[in-house]
Amino acid sequence: MRIKELMTNHAEWIEATTPLRDVSRTLRDKNIGCLPVGENDRLVGMITDRDICCRGVADGLDPDKATARDVMTDGIVWCFDDQTDKEAAELMEEKGIRHLPVLNRKKRIVGVLSLGDLAFRAGKSLTADVIHLVARDAERHAKSA
């Protein structure tokens, strides 16, 4: 199955200079957990609600002065919308990530693919792989706590 059939369709992203308070409100209002971060029409990172909590609030950053760039994950991994679910799952497992920005072949953001998208919409064999990824991720976080 192609990623464009599984992903959450939205081309929304935020600028790297967006204050954390505004990022938080966008995540809340859209009921999403992450957003791609762009700069000069280029994908430069990904920010999650966890990034804001662990790298922002926990470190005492001022949410009105600190920006997405201050807490985002850079060195972003992404996929194309015409790749397969299997390719995406392998990439997520290899990189240990739960969300992939999805680009079209013109390198424009067209959506985000999450482990949940894969588990909910993919076939049974891939769903088992996704469950393994989530369990491994939970174990990794438990060990680091």
Half-sphere exposure of 101 (CA within 13 A, CB side): 28
User: In the structure encoding, which two tokens stand for residue 24, read together?
Assistant: 């938080």
- The pLDDT assigned to 68 comes to 98
Residue span of the structural domain in which 85 resides: 3-144
pLDDT tens digit sequence for 90-127: 898 888 888 899 999 998 888 999 888 887 776 656 65
- The pLDDT assigned to 117 comes to 86
Q: What is the helix (H) or strand (E) element at residue 107, kind and residue range?
A: none
CA distances from 63 to 47, 54, 55, 68, 108 (A): 14, 13, 11, 10, 28
Flag whether the pTM goes above 0.75.
yes
CATH number, domain at 113?
3.10.580.10
pLDDT tens digit sequence for 31-50: 988 999 998 878 899 999 99
- The pLDDT assigned to 124 comes to 57
Closest of 61, 46, 54 to residue 14, by C-alpha: 46
Question: What average pLDDT score do residues 81-94 get?
Answer: 91
CA distances from 34 to 25, 27, 59, 100, 137 (A): 12, 7, 19, 10, 17
